[in-house]
Structures are given as structure tokens and as C-alpha cells.
Structure 1
Amino acid sequence: MSTRWIIRLETLLSVGFTLGCLGALAGLATNVAIAFFDAPNGLGIPLRVLDIPVAGLAADGASIGDATAEVTVRPEGASPLAGLLYLLLWAPGTATGLLALFTVIRALGRARSGDRALFSAVTAGHLRRLGWILIVGSVVSAVLGSVAETILASMLLAESYPFYPPSGEVLGAVVAGFAALGVSEIVRRGLTLLEEVEATI
């Protein structure tokens, strides 16, 4: 099996992982600025505003339902609590994504050795680990993010809501996690059957 496409994919994902780490460092710098300094213009905390007035925006024969927008709020002066809550808002999801990407890169690195390395117990372990990272990490980040966003909105917005639902990306990540667990079980059972066949030959 040609491993050229695996090498290219591994390189592409490695570049994405590096850029993701740099983005996380930039996010941490933003958190430090918000928590301990007066954050400059352009830096702030993104928050959702629900139920925006939309009267007069719809054309004749059409109607607009609920409208949601995202605003960037900059606290005046240093705000350690806002910095901590903002960290809880984005860091768990970012860490989950980076860990998942790193696991895929490790699996691809092993797969370059050939077919038998690709379909092996180690690969099944990588897939199982990827699945649990996506499932647990997404659920934890959704809970922490929802709580942090609710508290931040009550602190920084004149009108807030008692609950901010997680984004749709969380559901997609959980589904991908279960899919990875399913594929890992398929690989594991395939290896068991292959070992049984080889033992009878």
C-alpha cells in the first residue's frame, strides 16, 4: 500500500496542530491581558446575545424567528474573574481538539509502516483513545462553557439569560467520538479473526 497520501495527511495535520497550539497561546495571552491588565481595543470576550429585535427586517411574505448575535465585550480595567471564566469558556474545547488531533497524528505516524501497522491493536487503541477524548472532552467543555458563559453574561451584559446552550459542534464531536469507538471495535474484532485464521493455517 502506498503511504504517500498518509505522509501528506500527517504533514497537513501536523501543520494544523502547530497552528492550533499557536492559537491557544494567543488565547492565553488574551486571558492574561483581560485578567491582569486593561485589555486594549480589539481584545475582548465573545458572548452570545439572544432574542435580538428583528422588527422591520423581514421582507413582505416572510418572517424572522429568533435571532442570535455574537458581541465582543471588553471589561474596563483588570478583571481576574472575567479572565478565569473566559479561560473556562474556550480552553477545554481547544484542549480537546488538540488532544484529538495529536492522537490522529500519532496513529498516522504508525500507519506509515504498512498495512499490518495500520490494522493493529495499537491503531485500535489510538482510535479508542480518540473516541473517549472526543466524548468526554466535548461534554466537559460544553458544561464548563455553558456555566462560564452564563456567569460572564450576567457580569458584562445588561440583559442575560439563565442558560446558554452549547454550540452544535459539541454534538458533532460526540458523534465522531462514538464513530471512532465503533471503528476501533471493528479493527479489534478483525484482528481477532485474522489471528484465528492464521492459527489454523
Structure 2
Amino acid sequence: MKRIDFPIKPHLLKYLQVHLKLATVAEFPVFKAEDYLLSKSNRFGFALNQLLRKPAKSARHEGSLEGCTARLGVDLRNFNAAYYDLLQGKLSAYVVFQFNDFVDDIFKAELYWWVAQHVERRSTIKDAIRSFMVFYDVSEDDLAYETLKKSVQRNGGLRLRKKKKAKSENFPVNLSPKTGELSPKKRKTSPKTGVLSQKDVFAAVRQSLMALPLPISELDFLHAGR
């Protein structure tokens, strides 16, 4: 198994295509959207690789998969697919939900930051949200403006904590740069079996990845009023 089609929400697919620097159908109508060559050199690839790995102890699915109608092509050529929890390309509901939820958290955090930056420059919240949607080519069919507006109104006013810097270019905080595994201090084992559950492992990995700077810092911030 060298390639999989990963179910994802349409607006999150467009968001990932920007940050993973993938060619899209909108850019090259003659071709299909570019696959993502899986790598652990960025937060999204690291999280996906961790979720796809065969768990020592499986996790129960929690959450809805509604809206995961788009597909992100993932090329596994650089990894041994035998290490992944795949059966003829079939992905568990747990993996699909957790990755979508992880990307959505970063998407929203960046949205709140974006709106705050624009409002500080005397822009309206409406214009800020609209410019964010345009920047990532998110249409009303992908995700309604009103949905983003409500999210900003409920959570956008919270002061974001300062993000911790990664210790290395390719690996997040609390992960070994040699193995990509959790540091010994962060490991937690089941008192019954002594085996890490998939849920506990990814919870720790996710916490470390969320502590990294927002992805927007990797791009040129374009402000309409500048």
C-alpha cells in the first residue's frame, strides 16, 4: 500500500494544500490535485504518521465524521506501510476524526489570530473573516461565513498563550529528534497492561504539536490595508 485517500473536510483540505504547498485543481485544471508525500518534517505530517501507525492498544472512536467529503491523497512511498494500521487502504474512524479535529483546531487558532491582527489595524470582523476565507480559497459551500463568525464571537476574544518554540526544525517539543518518539518524561503506560494506548500517545503528541507557533508564521502575512 503506497497511497491512500484520506477523508477530510473540504475547507481543511484547502487549508492543508496551502501549508503543505500542494498544487490544486484550481491552479492546474488539467491535472488532479497533488498528493501529499508523507513526511515528519511538519506538524501535519508528524500527526498523521503517528495516527496511522499500528497501535499497541487501539482507541475507541469518539466524535462525528460528518462533512469529511473531500479526499487528501497521501503518498506513503518513504515509509514501510507494514507499520501502518491499514487494511487495503481502509482507515479507522478514530484516525479520520482525530486528524480532522487536530487540523481544525489549528485552522481556528489561526483564524482567531488573523482576525485579531486585522481588527487591530482598524478592519471590521466581517472583512477580516472574509479575507481569511479568500486567502485559503474557502467558499460558502466549503464552510459558511456565519459558522466562522459564531466561532470567532465565542472564542476569538480569548488571549492566546505564547507558543513554545520547537527544539529542532523537524521535531516538536517533547519529541526525541533521533526517534520522533515521546520523551521518557512524557510517557504514560496503562497500570493494567503497561502498554501505551493509541489515545494516550496521540494526546501527548497533539499537545506538543499545538504548542508550536501557528502555521501562518511560515507564510507572508497579507493585510488588505497595508
Which one has the bigger helix percentage?
A: 1
Query: What TM-score do the two structures reach when normalised by structure 2?
Result: 0.27
TM-score, with normalisation over the residues of structure 1?
A: 0.29
Bigger relative CO (Cα 8 Å, ≥ 6 apart): 2
